[in-house]
Amino acid sequence: MARLDHLDPLCRLRMAVACQGDAFKPGAAVMSFGGSGHAASGFADGDDDEATLRARWQMGGQDRRRQGGARGLCIQGFQQVGALLLRLVHVFWHVFWYNAPFDARHAKAAFLSFELYNSDPESDSGFLVICDHASNALPEGYGTLGLAPSEFSRHIAYDIGAAEVSRRLAEALNCPAVLARYSRLLIDLNRGADDPTLVMKLSDGAIIPANREVDAFADKAEFAHRLAAFHEPYHLAVAEALTRARALGAVPAILSIHSFTPSWRGVARPWHTGILWDRDDRLPAVMLAGLRAEAGLVVGDNEPYTGALKGDCLFRHGTQNGLPHVLVEIRQDLIADAAGQAEWAARIARLVGAAAGAPHMSEIKFYGSQTDTPDCDRPD
């Protein structure tokens, strides 16, 4: 048994909420599949099946709310609040009252699910870099999810080149970066907990056998385990980094780094980069103008994917918190080596650095989302 007595009570509470109960399986060593074992992506890079599934799910949201009615929403809300209160009572008992030591494997789950890079608690430049799909690794015990090992060198497992761009960008901006430590095939950190593509069963023609029953309806236990052990700790780390920046007086701008394939189903993609955004145009406007001013660059505006996706990482941490944010997609062949990674990190750092002093960048402002509907709650 290892104790977490060196952590402050709030940190211990958060760790417990993220990892309580069956939130971690023994043996969390990383299994990496060649290369650097790192990288990232925005929308599921190039899955028409996935895009269709997500679109249908989001369009059906209003219908589900109408059919459920206020009574159904109230009942569901009371159930969720009740479950949360019971869980918090259990956590407080262990952390503050009984003070029982936590098994090291519970804490290990939260720490291993993400990489915190270039973090200096005493300084903050006003930026946070995140990389949701930064790795093609898997925890020990998951094997290859039933796939051939070669599949983990493909874009379906991670965003090639994005992790190193993220690290270099964090260094250039002197800001922290939070990177995923495991493959998006285990669980996609750039999806909301109720997104149907959270655990993919099919990606760009590859069936993932170990994911076949992992959802909220079939293998509920494994689904809940992956959420608690790998998904939520990553988002807690992002939230903690933002909270730390706010405590230092900064309004942190979030830079999400992803990459996309040069072609899709035999058709070449013309863009060198794409700027993905929803309604908050503070950073996207600067990025689009700056990139388009460079000769020879073809820049996509919400291409090759859209940035207006309810529940995704930037929606959760940027839109809902009123923080400036942007998702940058870079074509994978342009950042496949160290020279390309350094070039693109320097380019992004130059553009966002020039915008840092603008008055609107230091404001908490809620722009909402294109996915908002009249019956959706909006922040105050």
The CATH number given to whatever domain includes residue 303 is 3.40.630.40
182 versus 39: the higher-pLDDT residue is 182
For the record, the structure tokens of 147 come out as: 């796939």
Sequence-ordered list of residues with C-beta below 8 angstroms from that of 24, at least 6 positions apart, any chain = 105, 106, 108, 109, 225, 229
Per-residue confidence (pLDDT) for residue 200, from 0 to 100? 94
Question: Minimum mean pLDDT among 70-74, 92-96, 193-197, 297-301: which range?
Answer: 92-96
In degrees rounded to 5, what are phi and psi of residue 258?
A: -140, 170
To the nearest whole percent, how much of the chain has pLDDT over 70?
68
| Domain-embedded: residue 126 | yes
| Domain-embedded: residue 297 | yes
pLDDT higher than threshold 60 for residue 63: no
pLDDT higher than threshold 90 for residue 120: no
Q: What is the tens place of the pLDDT at every residue in 208-218?
A: 999 999 999 99
CA 287 and chain centroid, separation: 21
| Domain-embedded: residue 375 | no
Per-residue confidence (pLDDT) for residue 106, from 0 to 100? 41
Report the relative pairing of strands 299-301 and 138-139 from DSSP bridges: unpaired
In the chain, the amino acid numbered 317 is H
Banded pLDDT at 51 (limits 50, 70, 90): low
Most confident of 39-43, 82-86, 210-214: 210-214
Task: Please name which of 228, 198, 179 lies closest in space to residue 311, comparing C-alpha atoms.
Answer: 198
| Domain-embedded: residue 82 | no
What would the mean pLDDT of 325-344 be, rounded to a whole number?
A: 98
The SS3 assignment for 125 reads coil
In the chain, the N- to C-terminal Cα span, in Å, equals 44
Q: What is the tens place of the pLDDT at every residue in 245-301?
A: 999 899 999 999 999 999 988 899 999 999 999 999 999 999 999 999 999 999 999
Banded pLDDT at 49 (limits 50, 70, 90): low
| Domain-embedded: residue 380 | no
Banded pLDDT at 34 (limits 50, 70, 90): low
Per-residue confidence (pLDDT) for residue 10, from 0 to 100? 39
| Domain-embedded: residue 129 | yes
| Domain-embedded: residue 21 | no
| Domain-embedded: residue 4 | no
Per-residue confidence (pLDDT) for residue 119, from 0 to 100? 84
205 versus 139: the higher-pLDDT residue is 139
How high is the mean pLDDT of the chain? 79
Question: In which domain, by residue range, is 345 found?
Answer: 28-69+103-362
How many independent structural domains does the chain possess?
1
